[in-house]
């Protein structure tokens, strides 16, 4: 993949773009929120639709010349409807955060109450963190996972909700390795007369493929990111029932955004078409099998996994038991040097800080896209172990980097 046209105009940017392709090819992308889209999705995202203003919705635009924009957006909506079965779908949010923003803007007023999972327990900034607009506009309290098991504490959530009486309960997480029981959270929301926003950002692809239970038809609102497990390019999506359709559409545009990113909506349409193929269900199932294999390998090598394992695409390692002197940041840095890219992450009961956390989070969506199987992922678990056991040993890092290169060659990307 070269960028000849960019190179003619701007060699500096072309160097960086080609450098990025090589970086993705030659190292293991294990950031759990990342993936590799197909060249068809890249092609759609690089299309002339980036030129088009299409404020409004298909058939009701504020600008002329929207016939192809209409076609593309309607295809994205129809395919999402087939994937998720939602009554109403808006594919315009620029990202998952903007999808959440639309739900809050439509349904709650400044000062209203949000109950969401604590960030250090796996939540997301857009669920009420003080640094995010949600933490500044709304009154936020947070629930937690059970510190013993690492699983969501549904009874604790029910007690907290009864006491706090939130207007909206947010579920769906950034670093939670277990299946989410949407109905149990919905029951809590019903009992306290709260709305329920299920944010499936990380697991949008797993839900689409049917390998994780769907909150569609359970929660009032379902938001997602389109660039994570569903592999459809950067963006967001909101799904709801007919009851809230007009409110959500108005909150996306003109409420929170201007012109839609039509080239990204084309990417979503193409990615969703790919996700409707039977091979995508297989991809999603292999992503989970690979995460389980990675988790088993790490456990066998002495690491503690939050909740003891995984049901989805990621594992969360608590380094405090096995490597008390190594922070998540230290591990992240040494692993990156060895060609394994993942992130330091907070863990439930965090005793350090978000900048210097006690865990690492590792996901298999990207590796699975480039063809890694369970044996490969067990090997990756061994490689991670060798580096984290000796983060300052240059010889170990060099050795592991060579083994990473072999795995990358066996599983080519964008060739
Ligand atoms: C990734 C993520 C989002 C959306 O993030 P964007 O970067 O704005 O797309 C929202 N919620 C959760 C739980 C996430 O993990």
What tens digit of pLDDT does each residue of 307-328 get? 999 999 999 999 999 999 999 9
Indicate if ligand 1 lies below 6 Å from the C-beta of 199: yes
CA distances from residue 387 to 63, 303, 404 in whole angstroms, order as listed: 56, 13, 12
How far does residue 385's CA lie from ligand 1's centre (Å)? 28
CA of 234 to the centre of ligand 1 (A): 11
Q: Is 96 in the pocket of ligand 1 (CB under 6 A)?
A: yes
Question: Coil, helix or strand for 144?
Answer: coil
* CA atoms of 76 and 124, how far apart (whole Å): 26
Counting from 1 in the atom list of ligand 1, the atom nearest the Cα of 123 is: 13
Integer Cα distance of 59 and 39 in angstroms: 29
Mean pLDDT across 40-69: 98
Structure confidence at residue 73 (pLDDT): 98
**pLDDT tens figures, 132-166:** 999 999 999 999 999 899 999 999 999 999 999 99
Q: Is the CB of 35 under 6 A from ligand 1?
A: no
List the Cα angle 165/98/154 in 5-degree steps.
35
pLDDT, one tens digit per residue, over 87-106 is 999 999 999 999 999 999 99
Six token digits for residue 243: 């009851």
What ranges make up the beta strands (E) of 249-327? 304-305, 314-318
Residue 273 CA to residue 232 CA, distance in Å, equals: 9
Q: Is the CB of 121 under 6 A from ligand 1?
A: no
Q: Nearest-CA neighbor of 76 among 43, 103, 44, 102?
A: 44
| pLDDT reported for residue 41 | 98
For a ligand 1 pocket test, name from 33, 96, 133 the mutation site with the most ligand atoms within 8 angstroms of its C-beta.
Answer: 96
Q: How confident is the model at residue 415 (pLDDT cuts 50, 70, 90)?
A: confident
Ligand 1 proximity of 97 Cβ (cutoff 6 Å): yes
On whether the CB atoms of residues 229 and 36 are closer than 8 A, the answer is no
Tell me, in angstroms, the distance from the centre of ligand 1 to residue 33's CA: 8
- Give 354's pLDDT tier (boundaries 50, 70, 90): confident
Burial of 328 (0-12, 13-18, 19+ CB in 10 A): buried
240 close to ligand 1 (CB < 6 Angstrom): no
Q: What is the pLDDT of residue 414?
A: 95
CB 360 within 8 A of CB 328: yes
DSSP 3-state assignment of 306?
A: helix
Question: Could you give phi then psi for residue 132, rounded to 5 degrees?
Answer: -100, 160
Do the strands 236-240 and 221-225 form a parallel or antiparallel pair, or are they unpaired?
Answer: antiparallel
Instruction: Please give the pLDDT value at position 65.
Output: 98
Q: What CA–CA distance (Å, rounded) separates 112 from 288?
A: 37
- Which residue's C-alpha comes closest to atom 6 of ligand 1? 96
Q: Could you tell me if the CB of 372 is within 6 A of ligand 1?
A: no
- Section 113-140 average pLDDT: 95
The Cα 293–Cα 87 span in angstroms is: 37
- pLDDT (0 to 100) of residue 218: 98
CA–centroid distance, residue 101 to ligand 1 (Å): 11
Residue 2 reports pLDDT greater than 90:
no
Residues forming a β-bridge with 225: 236
Residue corresponding to tokens 């949600």: 134
Q: What is the mean pLDDT of residues 296-306?
A: 98
Count of residues in the chain = 415
Atom of ligand 1 nearest to the CA of 227: 9
Give 9-33 pLDDT, tens digit per residue: 999 999 999 999 999 999 999 999 9
Question: Sign (positive/negative) of CA torsion 324, 326, 327, 328?
Answer: negative
Please give the average per-residue pLDDT across 340-353, as a whole number. 95
pLDDT at 357: 96
Report which ligand 1 atom has the smallest distance to the Cα of 234.
9
Q: What is the pLDDT of residue 245?
A: 98
- pTM equals 0.97
Does 328 sit behind a cis peptide bond, omega within 30 degrees of 0 on the bond before it?
no
- Among 118-122, 375-379, 403-407, the range scoring the smallest mean pLDDT is 118-122
* pLDDT score of 360: 98
Best residue among 117, 124, 171, 345 to mutate for probing ligand 1's pocket (most ligand atoms within 8 Å of CB) is 124
Tokens representing 287 are: 């992503």
Tokens linked to 99:
């999808």
Which pLDDT score, from 0 to 100, does residue 1 have? 82
Q: Decide whether any atom of ligand 1 lies within 6 Å of the 95 Cβ.
A: yes
Q: Which of 88, 82, 81, 52 is nearest to 68 (CA)?
A: 52
3-state secondary structure of 229: coil
Tell me the per-residue pLDDT of 196-215, one tens digit each, with 9 for 90 and over. 999 999 999 999 999 999 99
- Ligand 1 and 202: CB distance under 6 A: yes
Contact 127, 100 (CB under 8 A): yes
Cβ(173) – ligand 1 distance below 6 Å = yes
Residue indicated by tokens 């690491």: 303
Give the pLDDT confidence score for residue 34 in this predicted structure.
98
Cβ(169)–Cβ(142) under 8 Å?
no
Residue 177: what pLDDT? Answer: 98
Domains of the chain: 43-275 (3.40.640.10), 280-410 (3.90.1150.10)
Ligand 1 centroid – CA 316 distance (Å): 17
């Amino acid at each position: 993949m070269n960028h000849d046209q960019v190179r003619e105009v701007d060699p500096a940017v072309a160097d960086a773009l080609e450098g990025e392709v090589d970086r993705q090819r030659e190292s293991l992308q294990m950031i759990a929120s990342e993936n590799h889209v197909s060249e068809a999705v890249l092609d759609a995202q690089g299309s002339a639709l980036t030129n088009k203003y299409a404020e409004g919705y298909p058939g009701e635009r504020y600008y002329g010349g929207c016939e192809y924009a209409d076609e593309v957006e309607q295809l994205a909506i129809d395919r999402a409807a087939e994937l998720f079965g939602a009554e109403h779908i808006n594919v315009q949010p620029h990202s998952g955060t903007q999808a959440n923003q639309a739900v809050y803007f439509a349904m709650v007023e400044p000062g209203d109450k949000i109950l969401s999972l604590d960030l250090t327990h796996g939540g997301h900034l857009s669920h009420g963190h003080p640094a995010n607009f949600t933490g500044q506009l709304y009154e936020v309290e947070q629930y937690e996972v059970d510190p013993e098991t690492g699983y969501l504490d549904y009874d604790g959530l029910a007690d907290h909700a009864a006491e706090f009486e939130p207007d909206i309960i947010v579920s769906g997480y950034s670093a939670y390795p277990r299946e989410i029981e949407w109905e149990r959270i919905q029951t809590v929301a019903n009992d306290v007369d709260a709305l329920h926003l299920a944010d499936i950002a990380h697991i949008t692809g797993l839900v689409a493929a049917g390998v994780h239970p769907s909150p569609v038809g359970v929660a009032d609102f379902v938001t997602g990111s389109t660039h994570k497990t569903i592999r459809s390019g950067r963006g967001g999506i909101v799904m709801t029932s007919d009851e809230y359709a007009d409110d959500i559409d108005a909150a996306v545009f003109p409420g929170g955004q201007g012109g839609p990113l039509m080239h990204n909506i084309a990417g979503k349409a193409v990615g969703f078409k790919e996700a409707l193929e039977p091979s995508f269900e297989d991809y999603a199932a292999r992503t989970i099998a690979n995460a389980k294999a990675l988790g088993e390998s790490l456990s066998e090598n002495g690491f503690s996994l939050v909740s003891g394992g995984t049901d989805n695409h990621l594992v969360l390692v608590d380094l405090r038991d096995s490597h008390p002197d190594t922070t998540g940041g230290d591990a992240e840095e040494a692993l990156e040097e060895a060609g394994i890219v993942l992130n330091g992450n907070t863990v439930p009961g965090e005793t350090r800080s978000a900048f210097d956390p006690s865990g690492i989070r590792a996901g298999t969506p990207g590796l699975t896209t480039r063809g890694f199987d369970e044996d490969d992922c067990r090997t990756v678990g061994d490689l991670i172990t060798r580096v984290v056991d000796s983060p300052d040993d240059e010889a170990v890092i060099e050795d592991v980097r060579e083994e990473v290169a072999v795995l990358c060659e066996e599983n080519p990307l964008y060739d």
